[in-house]
């Protein structure tokens, strides 16, 4: 039996995507072309034999086109439409190839989006046969671009096996002594809401002195401007395989972004058994915040502070109930579901 061949023209590689690709490799041959590793998120990747990685910058445009042509994919998936080299590759593939566009933009009705809708019949629809988006808000945009008949949801998926293992390794200890520490995992960028979070936490300590701490994992351009406080711990960047001790030592996940089209970390932390405190700008809250935490208006420091206080005042048994609810919600979509979704296109 001839195996299906699926190629990805990807932007910044991430562990969760690689986990999905490795699951897909059990059913198909997988080739991934990706941009150079971002120094602000220096992940180390060790893919299995079934997944072939090519860093885009390691080949000339012609060599890259030849690699894809030799691979001869049944399906090719492209991260957005900003990389003109990727678009050239897709244009050269035969019409029999399934050509999938991914996008994570919400429909907001901006002039740029309206321009995209008007130009789509002459641009995107001539290049791509399908669109694959994270969730319903992005699906609205994809439908306006003309992909309503060939549209998939669920493009982003956490490495649920990894974070399910973290849950199993930590939940028994948390049932005994729930860690009174909030956890933030993201790049130190303004739109991640870091200044709102630090302000809300510091004010909460002043207004309602308590035992809770805030642990922040990540790095980025705002690192040197981080708030220094005795109860705020700045860890720096941590590789996923080294997160065990931090997940065991913290209890509630906070993501206060002012701009976050999806946020895979929400599913990761839910799967790991973390109650969630999210801003309404985090796209994935629609799918993964279901009775397992708190939602607040993006940019509203007072509302964020009130939600943190509400968590602090919960008894241990209610925090554990939220943690177990989070885990169940996080496991509703797995890399196997993701792989099966794209394989159906090739049936």
Structural domain spans, the chain: 4-158+333-345, 160-330
For 4-158+333-345, CATH number?
3.40.50.11930
Q: How many CB atoms lie within 10 A of CB 90?
A: 20
Q: CA-to-CA distance for 306 and 288, rounded, in angstroms?
A: 21
94-99 contact pairs (CB < 8 A, 24+): 97/73, 98/74, 98/129, 98/130, 98/345, 98/346, 99/75, 99/127, 99/128, 99/129, 99/130
**In 177-263, alpha helices (H):** 194-207, 244-249
**What are the beta bridge partners of residue 229?**
232
Q: How many CB atoms lie within 10 A of CB 84?
A: 8
H-helix or E-strand containing 62? helix 61-71
- pLDDT at site 42: 60
187 contacts 287 by C-beta, under 8 angstroms: no
Separation of alpha carbons 58 and 132, rounded Å: 27
Q: What is the DSSP letter of 260?
A: B
Q: What is the DSSP letter of 240?
A: G
H or E segment to which residue 132 belongs = strand 130-133
Which residue carries 């999905």 as its tokens? 20
DSSP summary character for residue 242: G
CATH topology of domain 160-330: Rossmann fold (3.40.50)
Give per-residue pLDDT as tens, 35-87.
987 656 666 666 677 899 999 998 999 999 999 999 999 999 999 999 999 99
Q: What is the CA radius of gyration of the chain?
A: 21
Distance (Å, whole) CA 219 – CA 31: 30
pLDDT given at position 39? 59
Tell me what pLDDT residue 121 has.
86
Cα-based angle 64, 66, 69 (whole degrees, multiple of 5): 115
Pairing of strands 75-79, 4-9: parallel
Helix, strand and coil percent figures for the chain, each rounded to 5: 45, 20, 35
Asked if 4-158+333-345 and 160-330 have one fold, the answer is: yes
pLDDT beneath 70: ranges in the chain: 1, 38-47
* Neighbour tally for 239: CB within 10 Å: 10
Alpha helices in 25-98, H assignment, sequence order: 61-71, 84-92
């Amino acid at each position: 039996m001839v195996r299906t061949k699926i190629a990805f023209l990807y932007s910044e590689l991430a562990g969760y995507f690689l986990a999905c690709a490795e699951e897909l490799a059990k059913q198909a041959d997988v080739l991934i072309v990706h941009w150079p590793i971002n120094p602000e998120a220096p992940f180390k990747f060790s893919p299995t034999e079934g997944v072939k990685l090519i860093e885009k910058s390691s080949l000339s445009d012609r060599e890259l086109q030849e690699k894809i042509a030799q691979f001869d994919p049944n399906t090719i998936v492209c991260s957005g439409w900003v990389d003109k080299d990727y678009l050239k590759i897709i244009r050269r593939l035969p019409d029999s190839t399934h050509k999938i566009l991914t996008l994570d933009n919400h429909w907001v009705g901006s002039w740029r989006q309206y321009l995209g809708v008007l130009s789509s019949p002459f641009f995107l629809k001539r290049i791509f046969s399908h669109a694959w988006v994270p969730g319903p808000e992005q699906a609205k945009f994809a439908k306006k671009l003309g992909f309503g008949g060939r549209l998939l949801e669920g493009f982003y998926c956490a490495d649920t096996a990894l974070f399910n293992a973290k849950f199993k390794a930590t939940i028994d200890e948390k049932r005994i002594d729930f860690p009174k520490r909030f956890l933030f995992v993201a790049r130190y960028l303004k739109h991640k809401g870091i200044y709102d979070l630090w302000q809300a936490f510091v004010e909460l300590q002043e207004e309602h002195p308590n035992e809770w701490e805030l642990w922040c994992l990540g790095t980025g351009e705002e690192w040197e401007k981080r708030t220094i406080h005795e109860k705020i711990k700045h860890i720096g960047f941590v590789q996923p395989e080294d997160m065990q001790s931090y997940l065991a030592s913290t209890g509630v996940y906070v993501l206060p972004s002012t701009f976050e089209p999806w946020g895979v970390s929400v599913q990761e932390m839910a799967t790991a058994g973390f109650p969630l405190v999210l801003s309404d700008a985090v796209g994935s809250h629609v799918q993964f915040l279901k009775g397992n935490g708190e939602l607040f208006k993006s940019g509203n420091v007072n509302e964020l502070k009130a939600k943190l206080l509400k968590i602090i005042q919960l008894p241990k048994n209610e925090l554990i109930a939220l943690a177990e609810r989070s885990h169940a919600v996080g496991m509703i979509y797995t890399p196997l579901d993701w792989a099966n979704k794209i394989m159906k296109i090739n049936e």
